[in-house]
Amino acid sequence: MAAVMEQERDYQALVTDEIVESKYIPYAHLKYTDHDEEWVITSIEHPLLGVQEHEGVIITMVGSVKRDLATGGYAEIWQDNMGREVTGAERQRMPERGQEQLEGPFKVWDFRVREVEVTDGPEARAELLESHEQAKRRVKAEERDRQSTEATLAEAVSKLADSVNVSEQPTRRKRGEG
């Protein structure tokens, strides 16, 4: 029943203009992770969207940098101890003691699902597993055949050697012959 429900799921409904995830990169780490205006991520699972690897779905998400509406530049975002966003302007209005408890600043990318592709991943994986099992059975059968052939060959060589040994034994002449 669960497999039937997964097949009926409308994965295209995941494509949305709504933010499905945000990534907070500290300004100190931007030299390692700076994707300019857009950050494209392709994934085969996304727990927040309820998509798991075994479903055979490829999700393409595009992150855009959060902007400061007042300046039009990148928003400087801080986070309080509860994970709530605090803008640079809000931080300026806070008492100094409150500012010290904030983490940041961060450059933030807000991700939206741009495309969802449904693949035959689960079926291909099952076929691959089945073909792998068939290959293992074939190798075992070939090994049994090889061992059987070697045993038969060894037996034939042994019989041949025995017959050669019998025919090569010198014949004894009786006295008076020859």
* Domain assignment of residue 91, yes or no: yes
Please report, for the chain, how many H helices and E strands are present, in that order.
4, 6
> Could you tell me the two tokens for 16?
């949305």
Q: Are residues 30 and 79 in the same domain?
A: yes
106 has pLDDT over 60 = yes
Please tell me the total count of domains within the chain.
2
Place of tokens 């045993």: 151
* Domain assignment of residue 80, yes or no: yes
Model pTM?
A: 0.58
* Domain assignment of residue 97, yes or no: yes
Q: Are residues 32 and 78 in the same domain?
A: yes
Would you call 72 helix, strand, or coil by DSSP?
coil
Residue 64's closest CA among 106, 35, 97? 35
Structural domain boundaries enclosing 63: 2-119
> Could you tell me the two tokens for 100?
């010290």
Higher pLDDT, 124 or 53: 53
* Domain assignment of residue 25, yes or no: yes
What pLDDT, on a 0 to 100 scale, did the predictor assign at position 4? 42
> What digits encode the pLDDT tens for the residues 41-91?
888 888 888 888 777 888 899 999 888 887 777 888 888 888 888 888 888
d(CA 4, CA 27): 46
What pLDDT, on a 0 to 100 scale, did the predictor assign at position 123? 67
